[in-house]
Amino acid sequence: MNYSIIRNILGHVIRFEGIFMTIPILIAFLYREPSGMYFALCALGCILAGTLMVRKEVCNKSFFAKEGFVSVSLCWIVMSLIGALPFILSGAIPSFTDALFEIVSGFTTTGASILRDVESLPKCILFWRSFSHWIGGMGVLVFILAVLPLSGNSQIYLISAESPGPRFGKLVPKLQKTAFVLYAIYFGMTVIEVLLLLLGGMSLFDSLCTSFGTAGTGGFGIYNDSAGSYSPYLQNVITVFMVMFGVNFNFYFLILIRQFRNAFKMEEVRWYLIIFALATILITANLTITYGDLGYHLHHTAFQVASIMTTTGFSTVNFNDWPNFARTIMILLMFIGACAGSTGGGIKVSRFLIYLKTLRKELSVMIHPRSVKIIQSDGKAIEHETVRSVNIFLIAYILIYAISVLLVSFDNFDMVTNFTAIAATINNIGPGLELVGPASNFSIFSDFSKYVLVFDMLAGRLEIFPMLILFAPGTWKK
C-alpha cells in the first residue's frame, strides 16, 4: 500500500473542501449570520492542513486499483468528518452522530435528515447541506481531476472507483478532459435549472439550494414540507431536471458532439425512460381509480416517481399515504435507481439490464446446453469480467442489506420502517415508508443504527466495493 500518495490525494481533497466552505461564508456574510465564523474557521484549517499534506513530497508514485479504492473511500470518510464540523460548532446539530449522519447524507446525495425543523436553521447551514449534494453528486475526486493535473497516469482507478455504474467509460482520450467535460455538463445543467426556477419566481437562495439538491440527486429540502409548497410550475421544472440528472451523462456528451443517433441508441437511457413512464402511468391509474382527479395525481405521481427513481428524495405529497400497490412500485423503483454514469444512486438500470440478459442467457443455455451467447449492450459485447463483477455486486449488496436490516432491528421499529430505511440510505434516496416516510425523518433511530445507516449511505454511493475493501485484511498487509 502506497501511503504517501494516498496522503497526497487526501490533502487535495481536504484543501478543496476548505475552498468549497468559503461559499457558505459568503452566504453568512450576505445574511449577516454569525455562524459564518465557524465556516471560516473550518475553511482556514482545511486549506492549511490540506496544503501541508500536499506539500510533503510523494516518495513513491506507483498507484494501482487497490490504492484507488482505498483513497476514494478514505477521502469520503475524511471529507464527511470535516464537513460535519460546522454543524457541531455552530450548534445547529450539536450531536456528533447526528451531524455526521446529516453531512454523509449530503455528500452521498441521500437527503435523509435527522432534523425535525429545517426552517429554523441559519441560511449558511442550509446552504452547506444542499451544496454538499452538488459536491457529492459528481464526486469530489472527479472535480479534483478536472481542475488539477495530478501526477501519474493511474487516476483512472480513482475516477472509476468514484463514478457510479458497472464500468467507467471515458468520453475523450484524456482523463482530465473527460472529468472536465462531465463537470461542464453538470455545471451547465445546474445553471439552466437555477435560471428556470428564478423565472418561476423562486428566490435566488432557494433556487440555488433546490438546484443543488436536484443536480446531485440529493434531496435535502429547505422547507419542512420539502417541495410541497412550491408552485406547480416549479414542481414541474424540478421533475424534469430530476429525470435529466438521472440520465447517463454520456448521453449528453453524445448530444453535444452531435452524435444523436448513438445517443438515442443507448439502451440504458431508453429503458430508464420506459420504466419511469410505466411507473408513472401505473401509479397514476391506481391513485385515480382510488381517489379520482387524474390531472392532480399525474402531476404529483410524476414528481414522486422521478424523485424516487433518480434517488433524489424531494417530495410534494406524502406517498406513505398511497395505496399499497403504488407504495410497492415505489419500493421497487428505489432498488432500480437511475442510470450508470449519472448522479443518481440505486442498483442502476444498466446493472438490471445485465441481470435480465444473464437470466435470459441462462435459460437459453438450459434449453440448448451447448449454445454460446455473448451478453451485449448498445451493440457491444460485455466482457465476462464485467458480468461477473456486476453479479458479485448484487450479492454484496444483498448481504450488506440483510446485515443492516438485522442491526437496525435492535431499535424495535416495524419491518417496513427498517426495510425502507435501509433501502432509502443504501440507494441514496432519502425518504422511505412508515416512520421514515417523506413527512418524517431519521431522528428516531438510535446512534448505533445511525452509524449503520451512515455506512450504508457511503457503501451505496461508492458502490460497495471501495467500502468493503477497507475491511479486507489483504488491503493493509505489506
Partner 1 sequence: MNIIIAGCGKVGLTLGEQLVAENHEVTFIDSSQEKLQKVVGMLDVQVLLGNCTVYSTLREAGIEHADLFIAVTNSDEINLLSCLIAKKAANCHTVARVRNPEYNEDIQFIKSELGLSLTINPEWASAVEIARLIQIPSAMEANSFAGNHVNMIRFVIPENSILNNMKIADIGHKYSNKILVCVIERNHEILIPSGDIILKSGDSISVIIPLASVNHICTEIGIDTKPIKNVTIAGGGTISYYLAKLLIRMNVSVKIIELDRKRCEELSSLLPKALIINGDATDSQLLAEEGVSETDAFVALTGFDEENLLLSLHTHKISKAKNIIKINRINFDEVIGELNVGSVIYPKNITTEFITQYVRAMENSMGNSVETLYKLMENKVEALEFKVKDTPGITGIQLQDLELKKNLIICCINRHEKIITPTGRDMILEGDSVIVVTTHLGLKNLCDILI
Residues at the contact surface with partner 1, assessed by CB under 8 A: 364, 368-374, 376, 379-381
Could you tell me which of 60, 18, 284, 260 has the C-alpha nearest to residue 151?
Answer: 60
Label residue 67 exposed, middle or buried (CB < 10 Å: 0-12, 13-18, 19+).
buried
Judged by beta carbon, residue 290 or residue 376, the one nearer partner 1 is 376
Alpha helices (H) in 56-108, listed in sequence order: 65-90, 96-107
Residues shown for the chain:
478
Judged by beta carbon, residue 321 or residue 383, the one nearer partner 1 is 383
Smallest separation (angstroms) from partner 1 to the CB of 387? 13
Q: Are strands 376-377 and 380-381 parallel, antiparallel or unpaired?
A: antiparallel
CA separation for the pair 74, 79 (Å, rounded):
8
CA separation for the pair 210, 54 (Å, rounded):
34
Q: What is the dihedral of CA 455, 450, 315, 412, to 10 degrees?
A: 120
Residue 38: strand, helix, or coil: helix
Say if residues 414 and 325 touch (Cβ distance below 8 Å). Answer: no
Smallest separation (angstroms) from partner 1 to the CB of 36? 58
- CA-based radius of gyration for the chain: 22
Say if residues 437 and 472 touch (Cβ distance below 8 Å). Answer: no
Instruction: Give bridge partners of residue 381 from the DSSP assignment.
Output: 376
Judged by beta carbon, residue 116 or residue 373, the one nearer partner 1 is 373
Smallest separation (angstroms) from partner 1 to the CB of 380? 8
DSSP 382: P
Give the list of residues 6+ apart from residue 361 with CB closer than 8 angstroms, or none: 373, 375
Smallest separation (angstroms) from partner 1 to the CB of 339? 21
- Which position has the grid cell 435480465? 356
Judged by beta carbon, residue 59 or residue 372, the one nearer partner 1 is 372
Judged by beta carbon, residue 174 or residue 368, the one nearer partner 1 is 368
Judged by beta carbon, residue 370 or residue 478, the one nearer partner 1 is 370
Judged by beta carbon, residue 332 or residue 381, the one nearer partner 1 is 381
Smallest separation (angstroms) from partner 1 to the CB of 354? 14
Give the list of residues 6+ apart from residue 476 with CB closer than 8 angstroms, or none: 1
Smallest separation (angstroms) from partner 1 to the CB of 366? 13
Could you tell me which of 122, 123, 125 has the C-alpha nearest to residue 102?
Answer: 125
DSSP 383: P
Judged by beta carbon, residue 119 or residue 383, the one nearer partner 1 is 383
Smallest separation (angstroms) from partner 1 to the CB of 98? 51
Residue 450: strand, helix, or coil: helix
- Which grid coordinates are listed for 307? 424523485
CA separation for the pair 147, 472 (Å, rounded):
32
CA separation for the pair 129, 166 (Å, rounded):
28
Judged by beta carbon, residue 177 or residue 361, the one nearer partner 1 is 361
Smallest separation (angstroms) from partner 1 to the CB of 371? 5
Instruction: Give bridge partners of residue 36 from the DSSP assignment.
Output: none
Judged by beta carbon, residue 195 or residue 365, the one nearer partner 1 is 365
Smallest separation (angstroms) from partner 1 to the CB of 375? 9
Judged by beta carbon, residue 374 or residue 392, the one nearer partner 1 is 374
Smallest separation (angstroms) from partner 1 to the CB of 350? 17
DSSP 435: G
Give the list of residues 6+ apart from residue 392 with CB closer than 8 angstroms, or none: none
CA separation for the pair 132, 143 (Å, rounded):
13
Smallest separation (angstroms) from partner 1 to the CB of 394? 23
